[in-house]
Amino acid sequence: SGYIAIIGRPNVGKSTLINRILGQKLCITSRRPQTTRHRILGIKTTDKGQFIYVDTPGMHSDGKKAMNRYMNRAAAASIDDVDVVLFVVEGLKWTEDDQRVLKRIQQDARSPVILVLNKADKLSDKSDLLPQIQELAPQYDFAAVVPISARKGMNTDVLEQEIAKLMPEGEMIFD
Ligand code: GDP
């Protein structure tokens, strides 16, 4: 059982991904249990334990304003105590914003990060991704790099396997 944080710019497909992964298994809808630091998006119970998906409000990339700095620190602290961070980007749209957020995550948190390259269905050729991945992966210490299509459900099973590898063994947290 463990916690998985989902982070990424608006519109990269985080909600679509969470709906795809949780599907009918979204067992908590109206009254979501809250932890101090996270908003729980949903829990998936599998034979490997419970996968608790949370979001991290206030993870802004703009560190210029004092308020944002404060919120960035809170956000960084909140991702420090999850077991895995899913950093979701659009396959071919790697922005400076993404870069800034990723730097913050890796400076301030020790959690392993999986780079999720979403909207892979938009690519004419999957090899379009390779140069970008090869450029990025060595600079950052990713636990895995997984191209997916949240909308079409492509490769999300592989993503879930990568997540499972990083989950600690343990008893159920919610029942
Ligand atoms: P969020 O703001 O990160 O939660 O993003 P959403 O899940 O709301 O998705 C933003 C838009 O991207 C929506 O129009 C989705 O249908 C679209 N989208 C999400 N995943 C994919 C994908 O894998 N492929 C394509 N082509 N579009 C996607």
Region at 49 (left for phi over 0; alpha for psi -120 to 50; beta for the rest) = left
Q: Are strands 2-7 and 39-46 parallel, antiparallel or unpaired?
A: unpaired
Identify the pLDDT of residue 88. 92
Identify the pLDDT of residue 63. 55
Q: How far is the CA of 153 from the centre of ligand 1 (A)?
A: 12
Q: How far is the CA of 6 from the centre of ligand 1 (A)?
A: 14
Neighbours of 50 (CB within 10 A): 19
- Please report the ipTM that was assigned to this predicted complex: 0.99
Strand positions, DSSP E, 56-101: 84-90
Multiple choice CATH, 2-165, 3.40.50.300, 3.40.50.620, 3.20.20.70, 1.10.340.30: 3.40.50.300
Q: What is the pLDDT of residues 67-104, one digit of tens each?
A: 666 666 666 667 777 999 999 998 767 788 888 888 87
Q: Are 167 and 48 in contact (CB under 8 A)?
A: yes
Structure tokens at 175: 């029942």
Identify the pLDDT of residue 81. 79
With the most atoms of ligand 1 within 8 angstroms of its CB, the residue from 11, 17, 156 to mutate is: 11
User: Minimal CA–CA distance to 54: which of 68, 69, 44?
Assistant: 44
Whether 29 has a pLDDT exceeding 50, the answer reads no
